[in-house]
Structure formats: C-alpha cells, structure tokens
Structure 1
Amino acid sequence: MKKNVGGIDKILRIVAGLALIILTATGTIGLWGFIGVIPLATGAMGWCPFYPLLGLNSCPISTKG
C-alpha cells in the first residue's frame, strides 16, 4: 500500500476518529459514533482506500534528484 494520506489530513482524521469514539464511550452520542474507527485507522496507517478511487492524494510529492 502506497501512502496517500499526509500531514494535516492525517492529524484531522486521528482527532476526528478519537473524538467520535470518546463521545460514544461517554454516552453523548449513539453507537453510530464507533464509525470513528475508520478515520482513526486510515489516519494511523496513512492510507485511505477511497483516495485512489477518487484520484486523490494528500501526501507531499517527493522529489528525487
């Protein structure tokens, strides 16, 4: 898997995922909040399965040479 989630995108995914999971665990929102596992996992791995389908990539382009 080639990384396609970078920098700010990664941080936002992790924060949003953790926020949803914490809100669900405290009973503030319903069980649907466990969907936060998805952005948390994609942020932690640095790869989103939907980005290639949409032709997106938020990783900085590495220049060689």
Structure 2
Amino acid sequence: MALAKNVGPMDKNIRLAAAGVLILAGLMVSSVTMKVVLTVVGLIVLATAVLGVCPAYFPLKINTNKDADS
C-alpha cells in the first residue's frame, strides 16, 4: 500500500536544500555525535523530499501537494 504524496514542489525544493545544508554541516563539524545527528537528520529530510511523503504531515493533516486528490 503506497502512501499518498503530501509534499508539494516548493516544499520538496526547500527540503532538498535543507538536506544538503544538514549533510554538509554534518561533514564539517568536529564532534562525532553532531556528525551523526546532522547526517541522519539530513538523510531523513532528503528521503521525504525524494519520496514526496512526510509522515509527520499525516496526523497534522498537512498537504502541500496541490496535485494530490483531496
């Protein structure tokens, strides 16, 4: 069962940019803990952008995808 896409194009672009910043920041910090945290969060944000689905949006009933059937 596929989840309905709830991430629109502008939301997707913002997430892609944020993921890039988080992953790069994760590569640049000196603390190993911060490296892991920033990289993992960046990868999660990247996954939501690529898949077009944000699980946190479902309970909040948010849908930025205007192409989706309501």
Q: TM-score, normalised by structure 1?
A: 0.82
Aligned CA RMSD, in angstroms, stands at 2.0
Q: How far apart are the structure 2 equivalents of 1:40 and 1:57?
A: 18
User: How many residue pairs end up in the alignment?
Assistant: 63
SS at match of 1:4: coil
Offset at residue 62 of structure 1 (A):
5.4
**Residues 45 and 12 (structure 1 numbering): CA distance in 2 closer, same or farther, change over 3 Å?**
same
Aligned equivalent of 1:45, options 48, 51, 60? 51
SS at match of 2:38: helix
Structure 1 residue ranges (4+ consecutive) displaced by more than 3 angstroms after TM superposition: none
Unaligned runs of 5+ in 1: none
Q: How far apart are the structure 1 equivalents of 2:8 and 2:29?
A: 31
Unaligned runs of 5+ in 2: none
Offset at residue 28 of structure 1 (A):
6.5
Q: TM-score, normalised by structure 2?
A: 0.77
